[in-house]
Amino acid sequence: MIFRIKTYNNINEAGLEAFPRGLYEVGSSIESEDAVLVRSARLHEQPLSPNLKAVARAGAGVNNIPVDRLSEQGIPVFNAPGANANAVKELVIAGLFMGFRNIAPALEFVERIEGEGESFEKAVEAGKKRFVGRELPGRRLGVVGLGAIGGQVANAARSLGMEVIGYDPGLTVEHAWRLASDVRQARSLDELLGESDVVSLHVPLMDKTRDLINERRIAVMRPGAVLLNFARDGLVDREAVIASVESEHLGGYVTDFPHPDLLKRERVVALPHLGASTGEAEANSAVMAVQNLRDFLENGNIRHSVNFPDVVMPRTDGGRLAVANANVPNMVGQVGTALAEAGLNIVDLLNRSQGELAYTLVDVDGEVPETVAAAIEAIDGVLKARSIAPVSARG
């Protein structure tokens, strides 16, 4: 079987090379695609192929993908969490220095100096007093969100001599293991904001995090504190931040999300969304997205999906059935009955659920005929059922 992958945007070559020739056709003009690989293109208005089985983004955020619509059809959406973590971490650390050492306005000042020789030197000496900054050691960094990026930022800040306090009610054991042992956990967001000299945001944008930093929470922050936002634009109430910077309650705002209202304001630095803009991050994200797609298409395994649970099961010698369904009772029982009626013996099975969706992998002692997969897909509550050939059948 040849899998057809439609690409949007320019996908890094390292990712494209991860598709084995002979098993995949890849390109922007592909029709009747089995999967979509995308970066920033908006897919909300794009027609979906009847053959579509998966969508993968070579990046972390999926705001440009109609996740709800795809979920209703049993189509997993993959992303590449952590693939750009080092690139974003580096820019956040640069943002720390910009916020505390007045680097951006100092550069602008030097660019505007006229003259040369002694007059130039005098202008430099006379003007530099306006840009006296603060050092980082001993300052306290508050990290909101301790996932792949936030954890790296916390550890890097510790190596710079900063104290670090973190807040993440959804912190996983995996990410906790990677944190420096002396990163202190805040009991609430307000506690973190009230104790931090600088706050860095590293949470996804969703209904409950929109305007997470608003007028009330800014009032909780220490006078002179610096706010860093390299996560998502909508996490911050822009008008409230501007008002606080102008009143000098906030000591500065450094963001990777520029807006006309932020320009030419003292103690505000807006960068042109550079967080993941490195060759290494683009390559890492593309390769990770392709690996997610390949494992799903070839083996039915789900890793790093934003709408389905992780379901990874080693292959056996026979065929495999992959079933996406509504998370309701007796779905696995009905699937098992259909396989038994087709004379197929179950060798291994794994079922996981996440919210309203569930996903099941079933290995059998023979191949699963397409007619059997179609009959299972017709069961009320099943969104998509797919027969996957034995590994030996790939040739």
Domain count, the chain: 3
SS3 for 270-334 is ECCCCCCCCHHHHHHHHHHHHHHHHHHHHHCCECCECCCCCECCCCCCCCEEEEEEECCCCHHHH
Same domain, yes or no: 234 and 343: no
Same domain, yes or no: 183 and 164: yes
Hey, how many other C-beta atoms are within 10 angstroms of the C-beta on 247?
10
Same domain, yes or no: 61 and 91: no
Hey, how many other C-beta atoms are within 10 angstroms of the C-beta on 85?
21
Mean pLDDT of 337-350: 96
Calculate the average pLDDT of the chain: 95
CATH code for position 78? 3.40.50.720
Same domain, yes or no: 102 and 235: yes
Distance between CA atoms of residues 227 and 200, nearest Å? 6
Which structural domain range is residue 2 located in? 1-82+279-307
- Return the pLDDT at 395: 56
- Return the pLDDT at 206: 87
- Per-residue pLDDT reduced to its tens digit, 30-42: 999 999 999 989 9
Q: Nearest to residue 339, comparing CAs of 293, 389, 385?
A: 385
Stronger pLDDT, 388 or 392, i.e. the higher one: 388
- Return the pLDDT at 391: 87
**Residue 395 domain-assigned (yes or no):** no
Q: Which two tokens stand for residue 145?
A: 């969100």
Q: Please give the model's pTM, rounded to 2 decimal places.
A: 0.80
| CB contact set of 333 (below 8 Å; sequence gap of 6+) | none
Buried b (16+ CB within 10 A) or exposed e, 158-190: beeebbbbbbbeebeeebeeebeeebeebeebe
Distance between CA atoms of residues 129 and 125, nearest Å? 7
Q: Nearest to residue 357, comparing CAs of 305, 297, 296, 291?
A: 305
